[in-house]
Amino acid sequence: MSDNLLPFTITADLLDTGMRGFPVSTVYTSEVDPGEGLHYVGYPIADLAHIDPEAAIYLLFYKKIPNKGELSKFKKELKKRAKVDKRVIKLITQLPKEGHPMEWLIAGLNFAGMLCKTGDYREDGLNVVAQMPEIVAAIYRTRSGWGKPIKSKPHLGLMENFVQMMGVPGADAEKLTKLMRVFYVLHMDHGGGNLSTFVGKAVASGKSDTYASLGAAMAGLYGPLHGRANQECLEFLEKAGTNDPDKIEQFIRDEFAAGRSIFGFGHAVLRAEDPRAGVQYALGRELCPNDPLFQRAEVMRERAVKVLKANPKVKNPYPNVDAVSGSLLRACGLADAEYYTVLFGLSRCSGIAAQIVDERLVHRNGKGVPIYRPSDIPVNQPHRHYKKRG
Protein backbone atom coordinates (compact mmCIF):
# COMPACT_ATOMS: atom_id res chain seq x y z
CA MET A 1 0.00 0.00 0.00
CA SER A 2 1.37 3.41 -0.96
CA ASP A 3 2.23 5.67 1.97
CA ASN A 4 0.21 8.44 0.36
CA LEU A 5 -2.75 6.37 -0.81
CA LEU A 6 -6.04 8.20 -0.18
CA PRO A 7 -8.67 5.46 0.47
CA PHE A 8 -11.56 7.83 -0.14
CA THR A 9 -12.69 11.40 0.50
CA ILE A 10 -15.01 11.99 3.44
CA THR A 11 -17.92 14.10 2.26
CA ALA A 12 -20.77 15.60 4.30
CA ASP A 13 -23.18 12.79 3.44
CA LEU A 14 -20.81 10.29 5.10
CA LEU A 15 -20.97 12.01 8.48
CA ASP A 16 -23.17 10.52 11.23
CA THR A 17 -23.11 7.11 9.54
CA GLY A 18 -21.21 5.29 12.28
CA MET A 19 -17.95 5.57 10.29
CA ARG A 20 -19.28 2.70 8.19
CA GLY A 21 -16.55 1.60 5.81
CA PHE A 22 -14.07 4.26 6.95
CA PRO A 23 -10.53 2.80 6.87
CA VAL A 24 -8.86 3.85 10.12
CA SER A 25 -6.11 1.30 10.61
CA THR A 26 -4.14 -1.58 9.15
CA VAL A 27 -4.81 -5.11 10.43
CA TYR A 28 -2.44 -8.08 10.44
CA THR A 29 -4.72 -10.79 11.85
CA SER A 30 -7.70 -11.13 9.53
CA GLU A 31 -9.56 -9.85 6.49
CA VAL A 32 -13.14 -10.10 5.25
CA ASP A 33 -13.18 -10.38 1.45
CA PRO A 34 -16.59 -9.55 -0.09
CA GLY A 35 -16.48 -12.57 -2.37
CA GLU A 36 -14.36 -15.11 -0.47
CA GLY A 37 -15.22 -14.31 3.13
CA LEU A 38 -13.10 -14.36 6.26
CA HIS A 39 -9.36 -15.12 6.20
CA TYR A 40 -6.97 -15.38 9.13
CA VAL A 41 -3.53 -14.06 8.15
CA GLY A 42 -4.32 -14.95 4.54
CA TYR A 43 -5.77 -18.43 5.14
CA PRO A 44 -9.44 -19.01 4.21
CA ILE A 45 -11.47 -19.72 7.34
CA ALA A 46 -12.90 -22.93 5.87
CA ASP A 47 -9.34 -24.30 5.66
CA LEU A 48 -8.77 -23.54 9.34
CA ALA A 49 -12.15 -24.49 10.84
CA HIS A 50 -11.03 -27.87 12.18
CA ILE A 51 -7.51 -27.07 13.36
CA ASP A 52 -6.75 -26.98 17.08
CA PRO A 53 -8.03 -23.75 18.64
CA GLU A 54 -4.57 -23.32 20.15
CA ALA A 55 -3.06 -23.38 16.65
CA ALA A 56 -5.49 -20.67 15.54
CA ILE A 57 -4.56 -18.53 18.55
CA TYR A 58 -0.88 -18.99 17.69
CA LEU A 59 -1.62 -17.93 14.11
CA LEU A 60 -3.30 -14.69 15.17
CA PHE A 61 -0.60 -13.77 17.69
CA TYR A 62 2.48 -14.86 15.69
CA LYS A 63 1.17 -14.71 12.10
CA LYS A 64 2.14 -18.27 11.18
CA ILE A 65 0.63 -21.72 11.58
CA PRO A 66 2.71 -23.57 14.17
CA ASN A 67 4.50 -26.78 13.32
CA LYS A 68 4.06 -29.80 15.58
CA GLY A 69 6.83 -28.79 17.97
CA GLU A 70 5.74 -25.16 18.17
CA LEU A 71 2.15 -26.18 18.83
CA SER A 72 3.14 -28.59 21.60
CA LYS A 73 5.24 -25.90 23.26
CA PHE A 74 2.47 -23.32 22.90
CA LYS A 75 -0.13 -25.62 24.45
CA LYS A 76 2.16 -26.08 27.46
CA GLU A 77 2.55 -22.31 27.65
CA LEU A 78 -1.22 -21.75 27.65
CA LYS A 79 -1.58 -24.43 30.32
CA LYS A 80 0.77 -22.45 32.59
CA ARG A 81 -1.08 -19.22 31.83
CA ALA A 82 -4.54 -20.69 32.51
CA LYS A 83 -4.47 -20.26 36.29
CA VAL A 84 -7.13 -17.80 37.48
CA ASP A 85 -6.84 -16.18 40.90
CA LYS A 86 -9.35 -17.89 43.22
CA ARG A 87 -10.67 -14.50 44.28
CA VAL A 88 -11.84 -13.83 40.71
CA ILE A 89 -14.00 -16.95 40.71
CA LYS A 90 -15.31 -16.15 44.20
CA LEU A 91 -16.31 -12.66 43.08
CA ILE A 92 -18.07 -14.10 40.02
CA THR A 93 -20.13 -16.45 42.22
CA GLN A 94 -21.35 -13.42 44.20
CA LEU A 95 -22.73 -11.48 41.21
CA PRO A 96 -26.50 -10.82 41.11
CA LYS A 97 -28.36 -13.34 38.97
CA GLU A 98 -30.54 -10.53 37.64
CA GLY A 99 -27.56 -9.44 35.56
CA HIS A 100 -27.28 -10.55 31.93
CA PRO A 101 -24.54 -13.16 31.26
CA MET A 102 -22.63 -10.55 29.27
CA GLU A 103 -22.68 -8.21 32.26
CA TRP A 104 -21.17 -11.07 34.25
CA LEU A 105 -18.47 -11.54 31.59
CA ILE A 106 -17.61 -7.83 31.63
CA ALA A 107 -17.40 -7.97 35.43
CA GLY A 108 -15.30 -11.15 35.29
CA LEU A 109 -12.78 -9.51 32.98
CA ASN A 110 -12.56 -6.50 35.27
CA PHE A 111 -12.07 -8.74 38.31
CA ALA A 112 -9.32 -10.64 36.49
CA GLY A 113 -7.68 -7.34 35.52
CA MET A 114 -7.61 -6.23 39.15
CA LEU A 115 -5.99 -9.44 40.32
CA CYS A 116 -4.13 -10.99 37.37
CA LYS A 117 -2.74 -8.28 35.07
CA THR A 118 0.97 -7.79 34.51
CA GLY A 119 0.71 -4.55 32.51
CA ASP A 120 2.49 -6.14 29.52
CA TYR A 121 0.20 -6.30 26.49
CA ARG A 122 1.60 -9.51 25.03
CA GLU A 123 1.74 -11.29 28.40
CA ASP A 124 -1.73 -10.18 29.40
CA GLY A 125 -3.13 -10.96 25.95
CA LEU A 126 -2.00 -14.57 26.13
CA ASN A 127 -2.93 -14.82 29.81
CA VAL A 128 -6.50 -13.66 29.30
CA VAL A 129 -7.00 -16.04 26.36
CA ALA A 130 -5.87 -18.92 28.55
CA GLN A 131 -7.98 -17.77 31.52
CA MET A 132 -11.23 -17.08 29.66
CA PRO A 133 -12.52 -20.69 29.61
CA GLU A 134 -12.48 -20.89 33.42
CA ILE A 135 -14.11 -17.47 33.79
CA VAL A 136 -16.89 -18.29 31.31
CA ALA A 137 -17.47 -21.77 32.77
CA ALA A 138 -17.81 -20.25 36.25
CA ILE A 139 -20.35 -17.76 34.90
CA TYR A 140 -22.37 -20.53 33.25
CA ARG A 141 -22.41 -22.85 36.27
CA THR A 142 -23.14 -20.19 38.87
CA ARG A 143 -25.77 -18.16 37.05
CA SER A 144 -27.49 -21.25 35.60
CA GLY A 145 -27.64 -22.92 38.99
CA TRP A 146 -25.76 -26.03 37.83
CA GLY A 147 -23.57 -26.11 40.92
CA LYS A 148 -20.20 -24.91 42.13
CA PRO A 149 -17.42 -24.15 39.60
CA ILE A 150 -15.54 -27.27 38.50
CA LYS A 151 -11.76 -27.43 38.89
CA SER A 152 -9.80 -26.50 35.79
CA LYS A 153 -7.78 -29.19 33.99
CA PRO A 154 -5.90 -27.17 31.36
CA HIS A 155 -3.83 -30.18 30.26
CA LEU A 156 -6.97 -31.45 28.49
CA GLY A 157 -6.81 -28.67 25.91
CA LEU A 158 -8.50 -25.27 25.68
CA MET A 159 -12.02 -26.31 24.60
CA GLU A 160 -11.81 -29.79 26.11
CA ASN A 161 -11.15 -28.20 29.50
CA PHE A 162 -13.90 -25.65 28.93
CA VAL A 163 -16.52 -28.33 28.29
CA GLN A 164 -15.45 -30.39 31.33
CA MET A 165 -15.57 -27.23 33.53
CA MET A 166 -19.04 -26.45 32.21
CA GLY A 167 -20.42 -29.86 33.20
CA VAL A 168 -23.57 -29.19 31.15
CA PRO A 169 -26.42 -31.32 32.55
CA GLY A 170 -27.60 -33.91 30.03
CA ALA A 171 -25.19 -32.86 27.28
CA ASP A 172 -23.09 -35.20 25.16
CA ALA A 173 -19.63 -33.91 26.13
CA GLU A 174 -17.97 -35.37 23.04
CA LYS A 175 -20.39 -33.67 20.64
CA LEU A 176 -20.29 -30.40 22.54
CA THR A 177 -16.49 -30.41 22.55
CA LYS A 178 -16.37 -30.99 18.79
CA LEU A 179 -18.82 -28.15 18.25
CA MET A 180 -17.01 -25.75 20.58
CA ARG A 181 -13.63 -26.41 18.96
CA VAL A 182 -15.03 -25.33 15.59
CA PHE A 183 -17.22 -22.54 17.03
CA TYR A 184 -14.19 -21.06 18.79
CA VAL A 185 -12.04 -20.98 15.65
CA LEU A 186 -14.81 -19.55 13.46
CA HIS A 187 -15.55 -16.62 15.80
CA MET A 188 -12.04 -15.54 16.86
CA ASP A 189 -11.53 -12.53 14.61
CA HIS A 190 -13.32 -10.55 11.91
CA GLY A 191 -11.18 -7.68 10.70
CA GLY A 192 -10.46 -4.59 12.76
CA GLY A 193 -13.49 -2.39 12.17
CA ASN A 194 -16.32 -4.28 13.85
CA LEU A 195 -17.61 -2.52 16.97
CA SER A 196 -16.16 -4.72 19.72
CA THR A 197 -12.70 -4.93 18.14
CA PHE A 198 -12.61 -1.22 17.37
CA VAL A 199 -13.68 -0.34 20.91
CA GLY A 200 -11.11 -2.67 22.48
CA LYS A 201 -8.29 -1.19 20.41
CA ALA A 202 -9.47 2.38 20.99
CA VAL A 203 -9.51 1.91 24.77
CA ALA A 204 -6.07 0.26 24.67
CA SER A 205 -4.76 3.21 22.66
CA GLY A 206 -5.16 5.29 25.82
CA LYS A 207 -2.76 2.81 27.48
CA SER A 208 -5.50 1.02 29.41
CA ASP A 209 -4.53 -2.55 30.20
CA THR A 210 -5.65 -5.56 28.16
CA TYR A 211 -8.28 -6.73 30.64
CA ALA A 212 -9.95 -3.31 30.86
CA SER A 213 -9.81 -2.97 27.06
CA LEU A 214 -11.42 -6.36 26.56
CA GLY A 215 -14.07 -5.52 29.15
CA ALA A 216 -14.93 -2.45 27.08
CA ALA A 217 -14.90 -4.54 23.90
CA MET A 218 -17.35 -6.99 25.46
CA ALA A 219 -19.63 -4.10 26.40
CA GLY A 220 -19.73 -3.34 22.68
CA LEU A 221 -20.39 -6.99 21.85
CA TYR A 222 -23.25 -7.05 24.38
CA GLY A 223 -25.37 -4.70 22.26
CA PRO A 224 -28.23 -6.28 20.27
CA LEU A 225 -26.97 -4.78 17.00
CA HIS A 226 -23.62 -6.56 17.31
CA GLY A 227 -23.11 -9.70 19.37
CA ARG A 228 -26.62 -10.95 20.00
CA ALA A 229 -27.28 -11.91 16.40
CA ASN A 230 -27.03 -15.68 16.96
CA GLN A 231 -29.63 -15.43 19.73
CA GLU A 232 -31.96 -13.47 17.46
CA CYS A 233 -31.46 -15.99 14.65
CA LEU A 234 -32.49 -18.83 16.94
CA GLU A 235 -35.59 -16.90 17.99
CA PHE A 236 -36.36 -16.28 14.30
CA LEU A 237 -36.17 -20.01 13.59
CA GLU A 238 -38.50 -20.70 16.50
CA LYS A 239 -40.90 -18.01 15.27
CA ALA A 240 -41.22 -19.79 11.90
CA GLY A 241 -42.88 -22.65 13.79
CA THR A 242 -42.69 -25.25 11.04
CA ASN A 243 -40.28 -27.35 8.99
CA ASP A 244 -42.53 -27.43 5.94
CA PRO A 245 -40.54 -25.76 3.12
CA ASP A 246 -43.52 -24.00 1.54
CA LYS A 247 -44.79 -22.67 4.85
CA ILE A 248 -41.29 -21.46 5.74
CA GLU A 249 -41.05 -19.68 2.38
CA GLN A 250 -44.39 -17.97 3.01
CA PHE A 251 -43.27 -17.01 6.52
CA ILE A 252 -40.15 -15.36 5.05
CA ARG A 253 -42.22 -13.54 2.42
CA ASP A 254 -44.58 -12.24 5.10
CA GLU A 255 -41.73 -11.08 7.35
CA PHE A 256 -39.98 -9.38 4.45
CA ALA A 257 -43.17 -7.68 3.22
CA ALA A 258 -43.78 -6.36 6.73
CA GLY A 259 -40.34 -4.76 6.72
CA ARG A 260 -38.96 -7.04 9.43
CA SER A 261 -35.44 -8.44 9.43
CA ILE A 262 -34.69 -11.88 8.00
CA PHE A 263 -32.26 -12.87 10.74
CA GLY A 264 -29.22 -14.89 9.70
CA PHE A 265 -29.10 -13.63 6.13
CA GLY A 266 -27.06 -10.82 4.62
CA HIS A 267 -23.79 -9.25 5.72
CA ALA A 268 -22.30 -5.76 5.85
CA VAL A 269 -19.27 -6.78 3.76
CA LEU A 270 -19.87 -10.20 2.20
CA ARG A 271 -21.65 -10.61 -1.12
CA ALA A 272 -21.71 -14.43 -1.04
CA GLU A 273 -22.58 -17.11 1.51
CA ASP A 274 -20.44 -16.78 4.61
CA PRO A 275 -17.96 -19.70 4.51
CA ARG A 276 -18.38 -20.00 8.29
CA ALA A 277 -22.05 -20.78 7.73
CA GLY A 278 -21.14 -23.52 5.26
CA VAL A 279 -18.77 -25.09 7.79
CA GLN A 280 -21.50 -25.09 10.43
CA TYR A 281 -24.18 -26.57 8.18
CA ALA A 282 -21.81 -29.44 7.40
CA LEU A 283 -20.98 -29.85 11.09
CA GLY A 284 -24.67 -29.94 11.93
CA ARG A 285 -25.26 -32.75 9.45
CA GLU A 286 -22.55 -34.67 11.31
CA LEU A 287 -23.52 -33.87 14.92
CA CYS A 288 -27.28 -33.42 14.91
CA PRO A 289 -28.82 -34.29 11.52
CA ASN A 290 -32.17 -35.23 13.06
CA ASP A 291 -32.57 -32.21 15.30
CA PRO A 292 -35.81 -30.43 14.22
CA LEU A 293 -34.47 -26.91 14.68
CA PHE A 294 -31.29 -27.66 12.72
CA GLN A 295 -33.42 -29.19 9.97
CA ARG A 296 -35.48 -25.99 9.93
CA ALA A 297 -32.28 -23.96 9.57
CA GLU A 298 -31.34 -26.03 6.52
CA VAL A 299 -34.74 -25.42 4.93
CA MET A 300 -34.43 -21.72 5.75
CA ARG A 301 -31.05 -21.71 4.00
CA GLU A 302 -32.71 -22.71 0.73
CA ARG A 303 -35.97 -20.81 0.91
CA ALA A 304 -34.74 -17.53 2.38
CA VAL A 305 -32.12 -17.22 -0.35
CA LYS A 306 -34.80 -17.86 -2.96
CA VAL A 307 -37.03 -15.09 -1.59
CA LEU A 308 -34.28 -12.56 -0.99
CA LYS A 309 -32.56 -13.08 -4.36
CA ALA A 310 -35.78 -12.08 -6.08
CA ASN A 311 -35.53 -8.58 -4.60
CA PRO A 312 -32.97 -6.42 -6.44
CA LYS A 313 -32.50 -4.18 -3.39
CA VAL A 314 -31.00 -7.04 -1.36
CA LYS A 315 -27.22 -6.93 -1.81
CA ASN A 316 -26.51 -10.23 -0.07
CA PRO A 317 -29.30 -12.81 0.25
CA TYR A 318 -27.04 -15.55 1.64
CA PRO A 319 -26.65 -17.04 5.14
CA ASN A 320 -24.13 -15.56 7.54
CA VAL A 321 -22.34 -17.21 10.47
CA ASP A 322 -25.29 -16.68 12.83
CA ALA A 323 -27.89 -18.42 10.64
CA VAL A 324 -27.23 -21.84 12.12
CA SER A 325 -24.90 -21.50 15.13
CA GLY A 326 -27.72 -21.09 17.64
CA SER A 327 -29.50 -24.24 16.51
CA LEU A 328 -26.23 -26.21 16.80
CA LEU A 329 -25.53 -24.92 20.30
CA ARG A 330 -29.02 -25.86 21.43
CA ALA A 331 -28.88 -29.29 19.80
CA CYS A 332 -25.61 -30.02 21.62
CA GLY A 333 -26.99 -29.14 25.04
CA LEU A 334 -26.65 -25.37 25.48
CA ALA A 335 -30.33 -24.52 25.48
CA ASP A 336 -30.28 -21.01 27.00
CA ALA A 337 -29.76 -18.56 24.14
CA GLU A 338 -29.08 -15.74 26.60
CA TYR A 339 -25.54 -17.08 26.96
CA TYR A 340 -24.69 -17.34 23.27
CA THR A 341 -23.07 -13.91 23.13
CA VAL A 342 -20.82 -14.96 26.03
CA LEU A 343 -19.62 -17.91 23.93
CA PHE A 344 -19.04 -15.49 21.07
CA GLY A 345 -17.01 -13.29 23.44
CA LEU A 346 -15.01 -16.26 24.73
CA SER A 347 -13.71 -16.72 21.21
CA ARG A 348 -13.56 -13.11 20.01
CA CYS A 349 -11.42 -11.94 22.92
CA SER A 350 -8.53 -13.94 21.44
CA GLY A 351 -8.63 -12.01 18.17
CA ILE A 352 -9.10 -8.64 19.85
CA ALA A 353 -6.22 -9.38 22.24
CA ALA A 354 -3.97 -10.23 19.28
CA GLN A 355 -4.95 -6.99 17.52
CA ILE A 356 -4.27 -5.00 20.68
CA VAL A 357 -0.77 -6.53 20.84
CA ASP A 358 -0.17 -5.49 17.23
CA GLU A 359 -1.44 -1.93 17.72
CA ARG A 360 0.46 -1.39 20.96
CA LEU A 361 3.74 -3.18 20.19
CA VAL A 362 4.11 -3.73 16.44
CA HIS A 363 2.56 -0.93 14.37
CA ARG A 364 4.72 2.01 13.28
CA ASN A 365 7.93 0.03 13.74
CA GLY A 366 7.14 -0.78 17.34
CA LYS A 367 6.03 2.70 18.43
CA GLY A 368 2.40 1.65 18.40
CA VAL A 369 -0.72 3.44 17.20
CA PRO A 370 -1.29 6.82 18.92
CA ILE A 371 -4.36 7.37 21.06
CA TYR A 372 -7.49 7.32 18.93
CA ARG A 373 -8.77 10.87 18.49
CA PRO A 374 -11.14 11.40 15.55
CA SER A 375 -12.42 14.92 15.01
CA ASP A 376 -15.99 16.15 14.75
CA ILE A 377 -17.83 19.02 13.11
CA PRO A 378 -19.86 21.31 15.39
CA VAL A 379 -23.41 21.94 14.20
CA ASN A 380 -26.01 24.47 15.41
CA GLN A 381 -23.56 26.02 17.85
CA PRO A 382 -23.23 29.72 16.89
CA HIS A 383 -20.67 31.49 19.05
CA ARG A 384 -22.32 33.86 21.52
CA HIS A 385 -21.84 35.41 24.94
CA TYR A 386 -23.87 34.85 28.04
CA LYS A 387 -25.43 38.01 29.38
CA LYS A 388 -26.38 37.98 33.01
CA ARG A 389 -30.02 38.87 33.46
CA GLY A 390 -30.91 41.58 35.92
Distances (CA, A) of 290 to 174, 245, 270, 323, 338: 17, 16, 30, 18, 24
Confirm whether 106 is domain-assigned.
Answer: yes
What CATH number did the domain enclosing 355 receive? 1.10.580.10
Domain total of the chain: 1
Which residues pair with residue 32 across a beta bridge?
A: 38
Largest Cα span, the chain = 82
Q: What is the pLDDT of residue 14?
A: 85
What is the pTM assigned to this prediction?
A: 0.95
Asked if residue 109 belongs to a domain, the reply is: yes
The neighbouring-strand residues paired with 31 are: 39
Q: Is the model's pLDDT at 1 over the cut of 60?
A: no
Question: Which pLDDT band holds residue 271 (cuts at 50, 70, 90)?
Answer: confident
In a domain? residue 286? no
Name 340's Cβ contacts closer than 8 Å, sequence gap at least 6.
228, 230, 231, 234, 325, 326, 329, 334
pLDDT value at 7 more than 90? no
Q: Is residue 148 part of a domain?
A: yes
Tens-digit pLDDT profile for residues 14-39 = 888 888 888 888 999 999 999 999 99
Contact 282, 46 (CB under 8 A): no
Whether residue 142 is contained in a domain is answered as: yes
Helices (H) and strands (E) in the chain, counts: 16, 3
| Residues carrying an active site annotation | 226, 267, 322
Residue 105 belongs to some domain of the structure:
yes
Q: Which residues contact 218 (CB under 8 A, 6 or more apart)?
A: 102, 105, 106, 109, 196, 345, 349
8 A C-beta contact, residue 199 and residue 219: yes
Would the pLDDT of 324 be above 60?
yes
On whether residue 87 sits in a domain, the answer given is: yes
On whether residue 202 sits in a domain, the answer given is yes
Give per-residue pLDDT as tens, 90-149: 999 999 999 999 999 999 999 999 999 999 999 999 999 999 999 999 999 999 999 999
Average predicted confidence (pLDDT) for the chain: 95
What are the residue ranges of helices labelled H in 167-242?
173-186, 195-205, 210-222, 229-240
Range of the domain at 350: 46-169+188-225+346-362
